Amino acid sequence: MWLYLIKRLLSLVPVLWGITLLVFGFLHFIPGDPAVALLGERATPEQLAALRERLGLNQSWDAQYFTFLNDLLHAQLGTSITSGIPIAEEIRRRFPATLELSIAAMLVALLLGIPAGILAAVHKNRWLDNLTMTGSLLGVSLPVYWLGLLLIYLFAVHLHWLPPGGRISVEAGFRFQPLTGVYVLDALLQLDGSALKDVLAHLILPAITLGTIPLAILARITRSAMLETLAQDYIRTARAKGLPERWVILRHALKNALLPMITIAGLQFGTLLGGAILTETIFSWSGIGSWIYDGILARDYPVVQGGVITVAIAFVLINLLVDLSYAAFDPRIQFK
């Protein structure tokens, strides 16, 4: 177990190094100049040259990359070009918001996707199966930005049931004191019922929007895994013994179909942490995704590099935890 864990952690080093190369390369290949973005089009050549020298942008690309890599090895992510705020401080402030949204979206996907996949497998080739698969196809196909705007128009603008964006209302925000940055948890810890209600109301629409694609994928994977398991001999034996169909489905078939579902759920959760850029932007959610988006528009290299590296580290660690969890669900799996 420990030997396997050490091997996996060592294998992450070249992966993260490759990510730093890709991020640095893409940022420097896309058009745009941080100095121009910061000073404006009317800045004089002397002002632009002075700012580039101060930011280190007048150095060669390899020198800039080695400086970035050296700072990263010393846990120094630099400072935002536009705001002047240290990147590490911004990550500590914004990552809990992205984590909260990703967990909520994953709960939507798990609570709806897995039961939908089970029902589709049990009622194979019937109207419920066809309805579920059609819905999952729509869920994968709908653009996130279109779905988010549609939900805002329907539930916020037209029906006035839910707020259109933000994490908490202005009135509740004056009274609310965050502790961990995860507002739902903070409201529970402070036993603040009104703040909890307000935070949950702001969380519903972005969580549904972000959770639609993993919901659809989980439904399809669950259906496939359950169909394969239900065709096994031990399922026929369990039914021949006269066990209730509910027990056969939930205690025998579902238990043995968990591994592919766990794999997809883990991968999708890691994707949610980095794929919330559009959702956070649409709903004015102050997380890592919207921060990276603003950094791209402003050509703020340290922001984009720090945000992407943070998401990449979270993604690979989640994948490692998913792999380690296999043994807990299937005793036949042993790590060497």
**pLDDT value at residue 85:** 85
Cα-to-chain-centroid distance, residue 31: 27
If you average pLDDT over residues 310-319, what whole number do you get? 84
Q: How confident is the model at residue 202 (pLDDT cuts 50, 70, 90)?
A: very high
Per the rule left: phi > 0, alpha: psi between -120 and 50, beta: everything else, 141 is alpha
What are the φ and ψ backbone dihedral angles of 283, each rounded to 5 degrees? -95, 15
**pLDDT value at residue 151:** 93
CATH number of the domain that residue 226 is part of:
1.10.3720.10
Q: How confident is the model at residue 267 (pLDDT cuts 50, 70, 90)?
A: confident
Do 156 and 209 reside in the same domain of the chain? yes
Do 120 and 208 reside in the same domain of the chain? yes
**Counting beta carbons within 10 angstroms of the beta carbon of residue 184, is it exposed (0 to 12), middle (13 to 18) or buried (19 or more)?**
middle
Whether residue 218 is contained in a domain is answered as yes
Q: Which of 155-159, 190-194, 273-277 has the lowest mean pLDDT?
A: 273-277
Range of the domain at 258: 89-329
Do 222 and 169 reside in the same domain of the chain? yes
The percent of residues in the chain predicted with pLDDT above 90, rounded, is 22
Do 69 and 96 reside in the same domain of the chain? no
**pLDDT value at residue 334:** 66
Q: Is the pLDDT reported for residue 155 higher than 90?
A: yes
Nearest to 34 by CA among 301, 289, 294: 301
Q: Which two three-digit tokens encode residue 316? A: 């690979």
Do 171 and 32 reside in the same domain of the chain? no
Do 281 and 319 reside in the same domain of the chain? yes
**pLDDT value at residue 331:** 64
Do 47 and 127 reside in the same domain of the chain? no
pTM for this model (two decimals):
0.85
If you average pLDDT over residues 82-98, what whole number do you get? 87
Whether residue 336 is contained in a domain is answered as no
Q: pLDDT of 105-136, one tens digit each?
A: 999 999 999 999 999 998 888 888 899 889 88
**pLDDT value at residue 106:** 92
Q: Which two three-digit tokens encode residue 74? A: 């010393």
Q: pLDDT of 41-79, one tens digit each?
A: 777 778 778 877 777 777 777 787 888 788 787 777 778
Do 125 and 203 reside in the same domain of the chain? yes
Q: How confident is the model at residue 204 (pLDDT cuts 50, 70, 90)?
A: very high
If you average pLDDT over residues 207-231, what whole number do you get? 91
Q: pLDDT of 77-86, one tens digit each?
A: 778 887 888 8
Whether residue 95 is contained in a domain is answered as yes
Do 55 and 107 reside in the same domain of the chain? no
What is the count of structural domains for the chain? 2
